[in-house]
Amino acid sequence: MKNIQAQESVLELIGNTPLVKLNHITSGMKGNFYAKVEAFNPGHSAKDRIALYIIDQAEKKGILKPGDTIIETTSGNTGFSIAMVSVLKGYKCILAVSSKSSADKIDMLKAMGAEVHVCPAHVAADDPRSYYEVAKRLHTEVEGSIYINQYFNELNIDAHYHSTGPEIWNQTNGQITHLVACSGTGGTISGTARFLKEQNPEIKVLGIDAYGSVIQKYHETRELDKEEIYPYRIEGLGKNLIPTATDFDKIDRFMKVTDEDSAHTAREIAQKEGLFVGYTSGAALQGVKQFSDEGVFDENSVVVVIFPDHGSRYMSKVYNDQWMEQQGFMDEETRLHSKIQYVK
């Protein structure tokens, strides 16, 4: 057929996500603020980038063969991206998921045909029930399987070095002064930072961490302090271990944000900017607010904040008034159900 303009598959839609100026929620803050909106990937998150890149590399090296099984540890987004790529490339997919993951995410994984093992969230990383250990065990039990292991896979960093970093540099015409990103596995912030700092070492890279995570303390002391660990609600942010996919030398500072502030900021982004983003996006912008309060930015700052995923994955959590009330987070200004009027 001639002159049909179409992509061969959704995989060709991964990357080249838009940079959107934040005009309202940053009002009163010094600087120019832009969001890298990763929900425009076909799997609605930044994790599409690493799923495709790591699987492509495994195929090129002959590690992954037709009919093999891909196993991974995930809070949900990476799993969905791997399941999507697996469907199109003909692989089986088994995912070990944290029980902290929203019901929306788990249902989406099942819809994509993945075999899902839900593991308790609040156990030590080396506990045999943790999603890290369950994935390792499944890898030893399932013949013809590979374990992506995103927390300890250098390719996680490489994926963003070769895509997210160059995109942001080109989209800002090299004018970016600050990068702000959440740190979970650390791949997004590390790979993007590596590329950007190669172009301009003066660019400041600011990481966002959660209360209950060890990442910020490790960055400051290079010590794993288990006293820092306690349960928190944000998915895909922070960790109770130190991922080698985090290049701490490329990150200038970390800022911790609370579950509650991050939830309200996610809602605020939707209501002020029209961007329906996820919990970690709320955390990222909450970090921007806190850095701004400290005077980190000035009028000439060009700040790019990465919004990792889409709000549809948090309908049972951040965008659910009942869940917000159960957490003690409810704020009358952001209550959703009060804006619905039922006509009888």
Q: How far apart are the first and last CA of the chain?
A: 54
As a whole number of angstroms, the distance between CA 66 and CA 55 comes to: 12
Tokens of 290: 């806190």
C-alpha distances in Å from residue 297, one per residue of 20, 206, 289, 303: 19, 12, 10, 8
Structure tokens at 7: 């992509």
Helix (H, G, I), strand (E, B) or coil at 98: strand
What type of residue sits at position 47? K
User: Strand, coil or helix: what is 182?
Assistant: strand
Cα gap 74→208, rounded to integer Å: 19
Q: 319, exposed or middle or buried, with CB in 10 Å at 0-12, 13-18, 19+?
A: buried
In this structure, the strands spanning 32-37 and 19-21 are antiparallel
Give CA separation, 313 vs 5, 42, 81, 94, 97, in Å: 31, 14, 13, 20, 14
Amino acid in the structure at residue 301: S
Buried b (16+ CB within 10 A) or exposed e, 50-78: bbbbbbbebeeeeebeeebbbbbbbbbbb
What are the residue numbers of the active site?
47
What are the residue ranges of helices labelled H in 172-214? Answer: 187-199
Closest CA to 13 of 36, 55, 43: 43
